[in-house]
Amino acid sequence: MPVSSAYRPEPRFFDLGDEYGDAVRAADFPQATLRFRNDRAAGEVGLETLSDAEWIDHLGRFQLLPGQPGPIAMRYHGHQFRSYNPDLGDGRGFLAAQMRDASGRLLDLGTKGSGRTPWSRGADGRLTLKGGVREVLAASMLEAQGVPTSRAFSLIETGEALERGDEPSPTRSAVLVRLSHSHIRFGTFQRAAYFGRRDQIETLVEHIRTLYHPHVPAGDAPALLTAIVEASARLTARWIATGFVHGVLNTDNLNVTGESFDYGPWRFLPFYEPGFTAAYFDQTGLYAFARQPEAVFWNLTQLAGCLKLVADVEPLTEALNGFGAAYIRELRTAFLMRLGVKSLGEAADQRLLDATLALLREGGEALRWEPLFFDWFAGFSSSARALAGPRKALYQGEAIDAFRFALFEHEPDAPERLEHPVFARPEPEEMLIDEVEAIWTAIEASDDWAPFHDKLRRIEEARLAYSVAPAR
């Protein structure tokens, strides 16, 4: 069947004019084998009714969806590991479509691995299948844990043999499509500022304000910066609470909506390790786990620098300086969410945050990140379960006493969630590197996709178990 009546195309990137992207065509792939389709996400934008063959036509061969003007490779610059690169832009992707979801949010379908563009810089414009599998896994896990994230929408294997200097080669190819609340990056502003285009900065401010931060008054760049600072602080806090290391926090990888995207060398921490660095090419640990707030803040200062073309320095500085307080506030909220308890006011919430971090710090390798939150979810309501479970031996001593004291002050939030069968299991869903590699090995060695789909099914169960909202 074609698109459903819920499909509401609205290609608004074109409002910006023709200086923000370039019309491109997808590569002509030798093969298109559907490996993953996100029907839940598709249902939100009216595309779940596509047959598999239609899905492949639109999301693997990129026949235009109704009401969409055609693929556009976005232009942007960015700081990569703090050095400025004016040669970026969508080098292996494009904006394929924009549409409203059921709640009225404007969403993009954006590709990764769809072929070369004017911004490919001599590279092949392709994505490895392994890279695609890894992005699907990361996005699913982050969504399940309440992190504002782009969703992996589609993964199609494309039948090419890719050469990669840092992976066993040749390796299989794929095209990924993600569903994201905008693909406008801090680097989009940097490109406009680099060319001294005050008019473009004004256009971007207005575009982003109306479409993504509608409470910001017209022409108020500092207020827009405040909105982006707050959204970025929330995102960073949620990464931390879930033990996530993005890996490559360059300015071209940060979205103005505060939704995270572009998952390359990501990792989830098995246990608290502040210096853990995900990307092997990040030799100085610039984007290490505990340095992510600093990295996001630095990127925000670059965005603020661009906005100087259209606003005074003082209110921009004030907006930037809101990051620290917003981050701490969001971190308290993120930990409350992960522990499934209600806020009890700033002081008590801070005590709980401090006690949890102290416990994680002290627990070392034995105290795994995800099991701690799983065992103590909904606080007091889980006490008996935690103290009788497989990790009961870990739950002794001063740090745990302080943690329990701080936790039990807080009222459980929707403790009926504990009735979900997920909580009757001894182990939570983790997303650690050994399992990710094992999922890939099954695909690579014997084209066995069962472990991949089983994992996604279990993550979906966890998402439903943890979610406060009734299951959709």
**Active site members:** 252
- Closest contact distance (angstroms) between CB of 262 and ligand AMP is 5
Kind and range of the H or E run holding 268: strand 267-268
Residue 88's binding partner, choosing from ligand AMP, Mg ion, none, with beta-carbon cut-off 5 to 8 A by kind? Answer: ligand AMP
The site partner of 140 among Mg ion, ligand AMP, none (C-beta below 5 to 8 Å per kind) is: none
What are the Cα distances from residue 336, in Å, to 146, 347, 348, 381, 396?
12, 13, 11, 14, 22
- Closer to ligand AMP by Cβ: residue 254 or 300: 254
| Sign of the CA dihedral with 247 first, then 294, 190, and 282 last | negative
Helix (H, G, I), strand (E, B) or coil at 267: strand
Q: Which is nearer to Mg ion, 262 or 413 (CB)?
A: 262
The CB-of-114 to ligand AMP minimum distance in angstroms stands at: 10
The stretch near ligand AMP (CB under 6 A) out of 87-95, 100-108, 212-220, 315-323 is 87-95
Q: Which listed residue (26, 32, 88, 229) binds ligand AMP by CB under 6 A?
A: 88
Residue 123 is a binding residue for ligand AMP (CB under 6 A): yes
CB 179 to ligand AMP: min, Å: 18
| Residue whose Cβ sits closest to ligand AMP | 91
Determine, following the binding rule CB under 6 A, whether residue 49 of this chain makes contact with ligand AMP.
no
Q: Name the 3-class secondary structure at 179.
A: strand
Distances (CA, A) of 281 to 247, 254, 284: 10, 19, 9
253 near ligand AMP, rule: CB under 6 A? yes
Distance CA 36, CA 453 (A): 8
**One residue of 43, 67, 69, 91 binding ligand AMP per CB under 6 A:** 91
Pick from 128, 203, 216, 98: nearest CA to 443: 128
Name every residue whose Cβ is closer than 8 Å to that of residue 385 and which is 6 or more positions away in sequence.
375, 418, 423
Distance CA 79, CA 116 (A): 22
Measured at the CA of 36, the angle between CA 34 and CA 38, to 5 degrees, comes to 125
Binding-site string for ligand AMP from residue 259 to residue 278, where x marks contact by CB under 6 A and - marks none: ---x-x--------------
- H or E stretch covering 54: helix 52-59
Selection from ligand AMP, Mg ion, none that 126 binds (CB < 5 to 8 A by kind) is: ligand AMP
* Bridge partners of residue 172, in order along the sequence: 161
Site string for Mg ion, 224-253 (x = CB under 5 A): -----------------------------x
**Applying CB under 6 A, does 124 fall inside the site for ligand AMP?**
yes
How many chain residues bind Mg ion (CB under 5 A)?
Answer: 2
Residue from 48, 157, 262, 430 touching Mg ion (CB under 5 A): that is: 262
What the block records as the tokens of 248 is 């490559």
User: Which one of 89, 293, 363, 428 is in contact with ligand AMP (CB under 6 A)?
Assistant: 89
Applying CB under 6 A, which part among 89-97, 173-181, 357-365, 402-410 lies near ligand AMP? 89-97
Minimum CB–partner distance for residue 99 and ligand AMP (Å): 23
In the chain the first and final C-alpha atoms are separated, in Å, by 23
What sign results for the dihedral spanned by CA atoms 155, 156, 161, 162? negative
In the block, which residue shows the tokens 């040669």? 87
Closest to 234 (Cα-Cα) out of 150, 161, 334? 334
Nearer to ligand AMP, 114 or 140 (CB): 114
Closer to Mg ion at the Cβ: 68 or 253? 253
Among positions 90, 157, 330, 429, the unique one binding ligand AMP when judged by CB under 6 A = 90
Task: Give the footprint of ligand AMP on this chain (CB under 6 A).
Answer: 88-92, 119-120, 123-126, 248, 252-253, 262, 264
